[in-house]
C-alpha cells in the first residue's frame, strides 16, 4: 500500500483489509456495502494520490446501500441519432425514496444497491495505451466475458445509449468523470434483483429510461454461489491480463 502514504483509512470507512496489490502498478480496493459518501470521498482522495504517482492505478470494486446519484446531464444524441430520454426534475428531489448525491460523472439520475457490482477505475489515461474509449469498451467486454462463462447470451455494449445491453434491456450503466486526465466513477452492473429498489424505480427514470428497461444477471444466467466475489475475481483476472 505504498501508494497510500499517511492516509487515514478510517475516515473513508476503510481498513487495510480492503486493499491488495493486483500487480506492481495496480492497487485494488474492495469494500461491500460501502456508504456512498465514504466511497466518493475516497475517489477524490485517490485522484490526489495519482498526481504524484501517475503510473499507478487504484481500481475500486464495491457496492453501496440503496442510494441515488445524479450526474452532469443525460447523454445527447450524436448527429444522425435520435432518442428520447426523460430528464430528472431537481424540484422533485424531496420526493425521492433514497438519498440523492449530485456528482461529477456524465449521465443522469441512476441507482445503486447491494445487489450490484460497481467498478471505479482511478487511472491516468494515455491515448497510445489506454484511451477513454478503449477503457470503457474493455470494462464492458470483461463483464460480458464473465457472464458468458455463466451462461448469459446476447450481451452487447452500446455507444448509442451507453451501457451493457441484452436486446432492449439494460444490465449495466457507465458514467465517467475525468480530471487532469485521471478517470473516476465508472460502471454499475446489476447482478441481483432488489425488489425494494425495483418498486422505487417505478416513479423514476434511471438514465432517462423507464425502470422496466433494467434487468439483472440473475434473470439471464445461473449465478454461482458467492457470485459477487467470484465475479470480482474473474473480472480482475481479465484486467490484469489486458491492462499491462
- The residues assigned a catalytic role are 207
CA distances to 5, 139, 239, 240 from 59, in Å: 17, 12, 10, 11
Which pairing describes strands 26-31 and 100-102: parallel, antiparallel, or unpaired? unpaired
Range 37-42 contact pairs with CB under 8 angstroms and sequence separation of 24 or more: 37/101, 38/11, 38/12, 38/13, 38/14, 39/12, 39/13, 39/64, 39/120, 40/101, 40/103, 41/11, 41/12, 42/12, 42/14
Range 83-86 contact pairs with CB under 8 angstroms and sequence separation of 24 or more: 83/160, 83/161, 85/205, 85/207, 85/208, 85/209, 86/205, 86/208, 86/209
Question: Which residues, 6 or more positions from 82, have their beta carbon under 8 angstroms from its beta carbon?
Answer: none
- Whole-angstrom Cα distance, residue 192 to residue 217? 6
Amino acid at each position: 500500500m505504498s501508494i497510500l502514504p499517511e492516509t487515514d483509512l478510517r475516515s473513508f470507512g476503510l481498513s487495510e483489509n480492503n486493499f491488495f496489490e493486483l500487480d506492481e502498478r495496480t492497487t485494488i480496493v474492495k469494500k461491500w456495502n460501502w456508504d456512498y459518501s465514504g466511497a466518493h470521498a475516497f475517489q477524490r482522495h485517490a485522484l490526489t494520490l495519482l498526481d504524484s504517482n501517475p503510473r499507478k492505478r487504484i481500481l475500486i470494486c464495491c457496492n453501496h446501500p440503496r442510494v441515488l446519484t445524479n450526474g452532469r446531464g443525460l447523454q445527447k444524441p450524436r448527429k444522425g441519432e435520435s432518442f428520447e430520454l426523460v430528464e430528472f426534475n431537481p424540484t422533485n428531489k424531496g420526493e425521492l425514496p433514497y438519498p440523492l448525491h449530485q456528482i461529477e460523472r456524465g449521465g443522469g439520475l441512476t441507482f445503486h444497491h447491494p445487489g450490484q457490482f460497481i467498478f471505479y477505475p482511478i487511472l491516468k489515461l494515455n491515448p497510445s495505451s489506454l484511451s477513454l474509449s478503449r477503457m470503457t469498451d474493455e470494462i464492458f467486454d470483461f463483464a460480458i466475458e464473465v457472464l458468458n462463462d455463466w451462461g448469459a447470451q446476447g450481451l452487447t455494449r452500446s455507444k448509442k445509449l451507453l451501457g451493457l445491453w441484452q436486446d432492449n434491456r439494460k444490465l449495466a450503466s457507465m458514467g465517467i468523470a475525468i480530471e487532469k486526465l485521471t478517470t473516476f466513477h465508472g460502471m454499475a452492473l446489476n447482478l441481483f434483483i432488489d425488489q425494494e429498489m425495483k418498486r422505487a424505480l417505478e416513479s423514476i427514470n434511471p438514465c432517462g429510461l423507464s425502470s422496466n428497461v433494467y434487468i439483472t444477471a440473475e434473470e439471464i444466467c445461473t449465478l454461482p454461489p458467492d457470485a459477487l466475489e467470484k465475479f470480482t475475481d474473474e473480472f480482475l483476472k481479465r484486467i490484469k491480463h489486458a491492462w499491462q
